Amino acid sequence: MSPPPATSAAPLTDAPAATAAESSRVRYRGLLWLVAAAFFMQALDSTIVNTAVPAMAGALGVTPLGMRTALTSYVLTLAVLIPASPWLCDRFGTRRVFAAAISVFGIGSLLCGISQTLPELVFARVIQGIGGASLMPVGRYVLVRSIDKREYVPAMSTVATFGLLGSVLGPLLGGLLVEFTSWRLIFLINVPVGLAGLWMNQRDMPEYRLEQARPFDTAGFLLFAAASALLLTASEQAGAQIHHWMLVAACIALAVLLGAIYVRHSRRTEHPVADLTLLRVRSLSVALVGNLFTRLGIGGMFLLLVLFLQVGCGWSPTLAGLMMVPQALGSISSKWVVNRLLLRLGYRRLLLANTTAVAVMLAVFSQVDGSTPTWLIAILVFVYGCFTGLQYTTMNTLAYTDVDIRHASMASSMASTTQYLSISFGIAFASLLMEVFVGRQVHAAHAYVTAFHVTVLVLAAVTALAATIFLRLRPDHPGASRRDGAVDA
C-alpha cells in the first residue's frame, strides 16, 4: 500500500475545520503509532538493562561494575551517530532509513540475547546503538513533515507519552524477566517488535528525500567520533584492575588534539556536522555545557541505585526494578509545573535553584542503607525524579529560546548529541567512582553500601558545582510559554 503524499489533499466539500482536522488525524494514525512504538522501544531498551546488570554480570563472569561498558557503549553510539540522521534522510529517504534503523536495532538485540562474553555483548550493544540512533530523529522529522500544524503538539505529546511509558515499565519489566525467566529475553523481545515495526513502516511511513542532498561532513564526523571514543576508553582504562595510566593519558591527550582539529575544521567547512558558531548564542552554549556537567553528576545514578539495592542490600531484581518506577513517575509529574515555574522564575533562577536541589537529594541518598524503610526510599526516589525531570526539561527548552528558526535543526542535533554523550560519561564516571571506593572487596555486600554512600556525596559536589554554569544566563532572561523541544530523557 502506497504511503500518503506529503501534503493533504484539499477537501471536496466545505467541511468545517474540525472535520478536516479529524480526517488528518485518522489518515496519519498509522504513522503516529509507528513513531510512538519506536520511541517506546528505545526508551524501554535504555532503562530495562539497568535492573539486569547484576544477573548479566554473573552470567558473563565479570563484576557488576565491570558491566558499565555494555551501558556506555550503547549511549555513546547514539551520541556519535545522531548528527548523521538528517543527512541520511535527505540522501536515502525516510522510509528506507527508518526500515534500516529498525532492522539494525533488531539484529543488535538478537546478538545481545545470544552473547556469551562481555566483549560480544559490547559489540552487540554498539550494533543496537547504530540502529537506535535514527529512530527518534527520523520519527520527529516525519511527524513535522506529515502532521498538520494544528495536530503536531497533540501528536508529539502522544509520542512522548509512549517514550515515558517505556521508561516507567523498563526497570520493572527488566526485574521480572531476570527473576523469573532469563536476562536474555530483555533483548530478544525486541526481535518480534522489530518485525512488526518493519511491516508498519512499509505501510505507513511516507518517503521524504532530497534530489540532491548537501555534502556530508565525513571528516568532521570521524574526528568527533574518535575523540568521544577515546575519552570513554580513557575512563574504562582508569577503572581497570590493572591501571594503564600512560594509556589513559595518551587517550585523553589524543582526544583533546582531535577536538582542537575539529574546531579548526568546522570553521572551514560549509556544512559541518556540528556548527560551533551557534555556541555564540549564550543560552544555547549554557544549555549544552550545563547539560554535560549536570549529567556527569546524575547520569549514572540509575546504575548506582540498582547495584546498591541488589548487591549491597540483597533486594530481588523485581523489587529493585519496582523501586525505579517512582523516579520515572516523578519525572512525568514535573512536566505539569515546569512551564509555570519558568514563567514565574525565569531560566536563571530556576536552574540555579533546581540544580542545587538535585545536589541536595544526591547527598540525602548517602543516609540510606539496608535498614531504611522501603516506603521512604520510594518517596526519596520519587522526589529525586521530580527534580531531575524538571532539570532535564528546563535545560532542553533553554537550548532553543534564542536560536534563529533557520538553525533550529542544527541546535536540536547538537542538543541531542550532548545529551547522550553526557549520559555515557555520567555512567562511566559514577561507576568508576564506585569501583574505586569498593576496591578489592568486589564480593562483599557491605563494601557496595559504603561505596554508594561516598560516591553519591562526590556526585552531589559535582552537581552543585555544575549549578554555577547557569550563572552565565542573564538575570532578566525570561521564562517560556512554548513547549517545543521540551523532551525529557
Contact 82, 420 (CB under 8 A): yes
Q: How much is the pLDDT for 366?
A: 92
> At residue 280, does pLDDT exceed 50?
yes
> At residue 1, does pLDDT exceed 50?
no
pLDDT tens readout for residues 253-273: 998 999 899 888 888 888 888
Contact 284, 413 (CB under 8 A): no
| C-alpha–C-alpha distance, residues 326 and 383, integer Å | 8
- Which is more confident, 365 or 45? 365
Mean pLDDT of 433-437: 86
Q: How much is the pLDDT for 100?
A: 92
| C-alpha–C-alpha distance, residues 242 and 234, integer Å | 13
Q: How much is the pLDDT for 365?
A: 94
> At residue 2, does pLDDT exceed 60?
no
- Which is more confident, 30 or 227? 227
**pLDDT over 70, % of the chain:** 86
Contacts of 141 (CB under 8 A, 6+ apart): 85, 86, 89, 94, 208
* pTM of the predicted protein model: 0.79
Nearest alpha-carbon partner for 424 in 186, 236, 190, 165: 236
**pLDDT over 90, % of the chain:** 18
Q: How much is the pLDDT for 19?
A: 52
| C-alpha–C-alpha distance, residues 71 and 69, integer Å | 5
> Cα-flanking dihedrals φ and ψ of residue 103, to 5°?
-65, -50
Handedness of CA 256, 257, 263, 265 (dihedral sign): negative
Residue whose entry in the numeric block shows the C-alpha cell 502532521? 147
How many C-alpha atoms does 306 have within 13 Å on its Cβ side? 32
pLDDT tens readout for residues 457-474: 999 999 999 999 998 888
Q: How much is the pLDDT for 459?
A: 94
Nearest alpha-carbon partner for 228 in 287, 294, 273: 273
3-state SS of the chain? CCCCCCCCCCCCCCCCHHHHHHHHHHHCHHHHHHHHHHHHHHHHHHHHHHHHHHHHHHHHCCCHHHHHHHHHHHHHHHHHHHHHHHHHHHHHCHHHHHHHHHHHHHHHHHHHHCCCCHHHHHHHHHHHHHHHCCHHHHHHHHHHHHCCHHHHHHHHHHHHHHHHHHHHHHHHHHHHHHHHCCCCHHHHCHHHHHHHHHHHHHHHCCCCCCCCCCCCCHHHHHHHHHHHHHHHHHHHHHCCCCCCHHHHHHHHHHHHHHHHHHHHHHHCCCCCCCCHHHHHCHHHHHHHHHHHHHHHHHCCHHHHHHHHHHHHCCCCHHHHHHHHHHHHHHHHHHCCCHHHHHHHHHHHHHHHHHHHHHHHHHHHHHHCCCCCCHHHHHHHHHHHHHHHHHHHHHHHHHCCCCCCHHHHHHHHHHHHHHHHHHHHHHHHHHHHHHHHHHCCCCCCHHHHHHHHHHHHHHHHHHHHHHHHHHHHCCCCCCCCCCCCCCCCC
pLDDT tens readout for residues 289-321: 998 899 888 888 888 888 889 888 888 888 888
pLDDT tens readout for residues 185-201: 888 988 888 888 888 88
Grid cell, residue 205, equals 511511513
Q: Flag the least confident range among 42-51, 145-154, 209-218, 326-335.
A: 145-154
Nearest alpha-carbon partner for 34 in 189, 206, 208, 186: 206
Contact 139, 35 (CB under 8 A): yes
3-state SS of 171-199? HHHHHHHHHHCCCCHHHHCHHHHHHHHHH
Q: How much is the pLDDT for 115?
A: 92
Q: How much is the pLDDT for 462?
A: 93
Grid cell, residue 469, equals 554554569
- Which is more confident, 476 or 252? 252
Contact 178, 55 (CB under 8 A): yes
Mean pLDDT of 106-132: 92
Q: How much is the pLDDT for 439?
A: 77
pLDDT tens readout for residues 64-74: 888 888 888 88
Residue 108's pLDDT band (boundaries 50, 70, 90)? very high
Grid cell, residue 346, equals 525565569
Nearest alpha-carbon partner for 467 in 314, 289, 326: 289
Classify residue 426 as exposed, middle or buried by CB count within 10 Å of its CB (0-12, 13-18, 19+): buried
Grid cell, residue 191, equals 526481535
